[in-house]
Homo-oligomer: A and B are copies of this chain.
Amino acid sequence: MPKLQKSKDKKEALLYATLNLVNSSGFQGASMSKVAKVANVSPATIYLYFENKQDLINQLYLKVKKEFSERAFHGIDVAEPVKRIFEQIWFNIASFKMEHPEEGSFLAQCDNTPMLDPEIREQGLLYLDPLLAIWKRGQEEGIIKPVSPYVLYAFTIYPMAFLLNEEVRPHCPLNKEKLSEAFKVAWDSIKV
Residues of A within 8 A of B (CB): 23-29, 105, 108-109, 111-115, 118, 121, 145, 147-148, 150-151, 153-155, 158-163, 165, 167-168, 171-172, 178, 181-182, 184-186, 188-191
- Is A162 in contact with B172, judged by CB distance below 8 angstroms? no
Q: A113-B113, A158-B159, A189-B186 are in contact. Are A28 and B28 (CB under 8 A)?
A: yes
- Is B167 in contact with A121, judged by CB distance below 8 angstroms? yes
* Closest 8 pairs between A and B when the two form their complex, measured CB to CB: A189-B189, A28-B28, A150-B172, A154-B159, A108-B112, A154-B162, A154-B163, A158-B162
- Is B163 in contact with A150, judged by CB distance below 8 angstroms? yes
Q: Is the interface of A mostly helix, strand, loop or mixed?
A: helix
Q: A23-B114, A109-B112, A112-B112 are in contact. Are A185 and B150 (CB under 8 A)?
A: no
> Cβ of A118: which chain B residues have Cβ within 8 Å of it?
167
- Is B190 in contact with A185, judged by CB distance below 8 angstroms? yes
> Cβ of A115: which chain B residues have Cβ within 8 Å of it?
26, 28
> Cβ of A171: which chain B residues have Cβ within 8 Å of it?
150
